[in-house]
Structure 1
Amino acid sequence: MAGKIRHRSIVDVHALLFDEAGRVLLMERANTGYADGMAGVPAGHLEQGESILDAVIRETAEEVGVRLGTGDARCVHVSHRCKPGQVDRVGFFFAATRWEGEPVNAEPHKCARIWWHDPDDLPSETIGYVADAIARVRSGAGGVFSLYGWT
């Protein structure tokens, strides 16, 4: 199969932080050029030479100022998603119920606000693939892997 080019996906990580009442931490995106005004969770891209676990720990600290320990974050879902005409992405979703510090909006230039919300009644403005992953994690019926947006 000489001449074939190996496919490479963009990899991202997502932190599902749950408080003692079982609510999930949401963030309203702003000034990013992607899904501004929509609700998401602390998330970001994997950097060169970084493990998936290190990425979710870094992104959570950067975006909401809390420190996850390596044993605090557990991978609960993987989503391979694509929009027609765009490059596909593989997203790893990690759940945590403990961390060091109190969540704050640590990137106000990219985030309008953060708040705790019932994960079983997400706002209609929640990013589609994020809402899908949360619903799958909550129901337990979706397994640990899903496809989103493939036609």
Structure 2
Amino acid sequence: MAITPEHIRETFTEYADAHPDEKAALSLVLESLDKDADLTSRKTEPVHVTAGAVLVDDSGEVLFIHHKGLNKYLTPGGHLEPEDPNLLGAALRELSEETGIRSSIAPLLPVPVHIDVHEIPASKSKGEPAHQHADVRYLFRTTGPVEVELQEEEVSGFVWRSPDTLTDERLRTRVLAALR
């Protein structure tokens, strides 16, 4: 069952209601939904929705993967797929695909910990112009030992770091608050 526009609208509306200072950043997504844009498709411009996972281990450290395409360490995440049941499920699938972690994880919160709308540079190799991602990020915690097996076509390394190293201030603040 694919992610519906109604699910995206509900998620973004509830998030905006909980974080009114971020409504302006989310307005492009809500306006695109009003125009019946398919925000689940990576081909939709100027913005489409992606899903991300912030995974925290038993010692309170966050998993970062080295993304080959952007040549930087990020939390796992990516584009939505037709088989994704919802945004939380998409974040979990992306986490599993990129890291090979298939068990011993659970959501810490039932709602997104953060939604970040950010610029993605053009990619000649993918034939994609510059566009924006509205990345719906969920917070997960390990519930036992995890073994990382990287998806080598997209990811070239991983590291566990303190949540203090999350560069987005809102995300960092919310992750630290959820861990207290």
Normalising to structure 1: TM-score of the pair? 0.67
CA deviations on 1:47-74 (whole Å, 9 max, x unpaired) are 2352212211211111112236896253
Aligned to 1:106: 150
Aligned to 2:80: 46
Equivalences for residues 87-98 of structure 1 within 5 A: 87-98=131-142
Gaps of 5+ in 2: 1-33, 40-46, 122-128
Q: Which moved more, 1:21-30 or 1:100-109?
A: 100-109
Q: Quick check: 2:108–2:140 contact (8 Å CA) kept in 1?
A: yes
Partner amino acid, structure 2, of 1:48: P
Amino-acid identity (%): 23
Structure 2 distance, partners of 1:15, 1:5, is: 28
Aligned to 1:21, the other structure's residue is in SS state coil
Aligned to 2:139, the other structure's residue is in SS state strand
> RCO higher in 1 or 2 (8 Å CA, sep ≥ 6)?
1
Q: Which moved more, 1:47-56 or 1:62-71?
A: 62-71
Structure 1 distance, partners of 2:138, 2:117, is: 15
CA-CA distance at 1:138 after TM superposition = 3.8
Runs of 4+ in structure 1 over 6 Å off:
none
CA-atom RMSD in angstroms: 2.9
Gaps of 5+ in 1: 123-130, 141-151
CA-CA distance at 1:22 after TM superposition = 1.0
Structure 1 distance, partners of 2:176, 2:160, is: 19
Equivalences for residues 11-90 of structure 1 within 5 A: 11-30=49-68, 32=69, 35-36=70-71, 38-48=72-82, 50=84, 51-67=86-102, 72=107, 74=109, 75-82=112-119, 86-90=130-134
Normalising to structure 2: TM-score of the pair? 0.57
Task: Please identify which structure carries the higher helix content.
Answer: 2
Structure 1 distance, partners of 2:51, 2:87, is: 7
